[in-house]
Amino acid sequence: MKIVVGQGSCGIAAGANKVYAAIEKALQSKNVEAELASTGCIGMCYLEPIIEIIDNEGKKETYVQVNPDIVDEIIETSLIKKEQHEKFSISQEDANILEKQERVALRNCGMINPESIDEYIARGGYEAIEKAIKSKTPDEIIEEIKISGLRGRGGAGFPTWFKWNAAKQSVGNQKYIICNADEGDPGAFMDRSILEGDPHSIIEGMLIGGYAMGATEGIIYVRAEYPLAIVRLKIAIEEARKKGYLGKNLFNENRFDFEMRIKAGAGAFVCGEETALIASLEGERGMPRLKPPFPAQKGYWQLPSNINNVETLANVPWILQNGGVAFAAMGTEKSKGTKVFALTGKIKKGGLVEVPMGIPLKEIIYEIGGGIMNDKSFKAVQMGGPSGGCIPHHLIETSVDYESITKTGAIMGSGGMVVMDETTCMVDMARFFLDFTRKESCGKCIHCRIGTNRMLEILTRITEGEGKDGDIELLEELGTKIKEGSLCGLGQTAPNPVLSTIRYFRDEYEKHIYDKKCPAKQCSNLLTYSINSENCIGCTLCAKKCPTNAISGERKQVHDIQQDLCIKCGKCKEVCKFNAVEVQ
């Protein structure tokens, strides 16, 4: 009998560590013999903490939203009485979510103990690198990656084989393969989950890439804010070294030496750009450099270097084991394989999903994500992280692939997918994301450093009711100039949330500017609170909660809000039980 507790960051945040301790205590007090183990994030973050009980015949029972108070009850029912506890069992609807996915990058997440190399090996781990070294040439490996159609999963989707081949052809007394695990957007949750749940797949992917291009050292550049990922990576690297998968003369073939280390980054968003990342690795401030020369020719310490992100590398061992043709069979003609998305926002079933490229956006949101929270209307989805664009409701049938997403004005990015409903103000949403990219700008390019500040000032004025004629056109002009004048991907994409919302939701901008109204009723300066005389019963609760005494009226009499005293905090609407407070 085995009990597995999901202890990725999402599970731990929901209380998985306390659940683990409670299970440990319950097993001892009830004198029940069972193996207690951990695993990473399975993807259904909205159900955490999750535990699985697996009997000796492999039958599995999954319990969700477990807390320490119900652990004894579950142990008693499932392990002692040998019955399934229906109350806390996963529903069939939720269980089906995984069946609707195609898991390649996430194939081991939630399936193995990430701190056990033996469990990774039991699922075919390190077979791909052994096969590569013993029976394939570097050129054959690169050709297999080319056949697969694997494109970089961290940003623009550049062909992986091309980058590897460029590094292979470069001359240098040493070469490096670098894993970028420092991206700071919603999609970075996906990277962190793979590092926490399946670190050996990244090690093996880097080994294969290193062998293919002639690199003898791998560096995992991971943000220091991911302590659990760093701990598990360190354990995995040490285990791999002890097993002989790292070091000198791998597999005794006299063909390949490879070492690996971790570099903890400072969490700068700009270091998602490869030359900024390299500058940070070298101890400099993370700022982009002019290209060419490209990192494949002159990268880390001016030596040939290749950079791939976490998801890209996680796919590599699977491709070597199953063949490039099998990977290419999933997806579309130009966007092959699968893609992992961090599904968040106004969605019922948030978490990680992995689907074949080409799947309609609607299917991800409604069939996998369960639809919009509280059954509100879908308004838009922002894709590509903080610098991604927004795809409106009328384009919900858009195919999720690089080409189709780019046409909408959004980007694939590293896989962030933020769902918005009717209550989302698109102007304020654009302001929120632009504020993030403005703060993350390294400041090197004038267009990015100053232009994003000017755009933010305009957006702030608009949301505060001080927008003026010409603001929309000025935002469009500034956004275009920033994209054209910025050196790296941060500045080139930072205006996307603004430009895409103007493109699809121009009417909202106009209502903010000319009518001084926020259609989504989110911008407080543009709201007017009033009391509906037909619904008000004079309970006085709103008056008691008003911090400025702006509400007057006798008990059991209709109340009134004095607009000159109202600070639009919304407390009155929050406490009213009779829908008497209206917002316009």
Q: Is the dihedral of CA 209, 214, 216, 221 positive or negative?
A: negative
For domain 528-583, the CATH architecture is 2-Layer Sandwich (3.30)
Per-residue pLDDT, 58: 83
Per-residue pLDDT, 183: 61
Please give the Cα distance from 369 to 169 (Å, whole number): 44
Instruction: Please write down the HEC assignment for all residues of 241-294.
Output: HHHCCCECCHHHCCCCCEEEEEEEECCCHHHHCHHHHHHHHCCCCCCCCCCCCC
- 49-98 pLDDT, tens digit per residue, is 999 999 888 889 999 999 999 999 999 998 888 888 888 999 999 998 88
pLDDT exceeds cutoff 80 at 182? no
Q: Is the dihedral of CA 91, 96, 101, 104 positive or negative?
A: positive
Residue ranges of E strands in 399-495? 416-421
- Mean of the per-residue pLDDT values for the chain? 93
Please report, for residues 24, 461, 469, 564, the alpha-carbon distance to residue 513 in angstroms, rounded to integers and kept in the order given: 60, 9, 7, 22
pTM over 0.85: yes
Question: Phi and psi of 372, rounded to 5°?
Answer: -85, 140
- Classified by CATH at the fold level, domain 338-421 comes out as Ubiquitin-like (UB roll) (3.10.20)
- 107-126 pLDDT, tens digit per residue, is 999 999 999 999 999 999 99
Question: Phi and psi of 332, rounded to 5°?
Answer: -110, -175
- Classified by CATH at the fold level, domain 426-515 comes out as de novo design (two linked rop proteins) (1.20.1440)
- 334-369 pLDDT, tens digit per residue, is 999 999 999 999 999 999 999 999 999 999 999 999
| Residue extents of the structural domains in the chain | 2-91, 117-328, 338-421, 426-515, 528-583
For domain 2-91, the CATH architecture is 3-Layer(aba) Sandwich (3.40)
Residue whose entry in the numeric block shows the structure tokens 């639009």: 568
Per-residue pLDDT, 385: 84
Per-residue pLDDT, 186: 45
User: Where is average pLDDT lowest: 21-35, 118-132, 462-476?
Assistant: 21-35
**Residue 39 CB partners (closer than 8 Å, separation 6+):** 4, 5, 6, 7, 8, 109, 110, 111, 112, 113, 114, 197
Please give the Cα distance from 178 to 189 (Å, whole number): 19
- 280-338 pLDDT, tens digit per residue, is 999 999 999 999 999 999 999 999 999 999 999 999 999 999 999 999 999 999 999 99
What CATH class has 117-328?
Answer: alpha beta
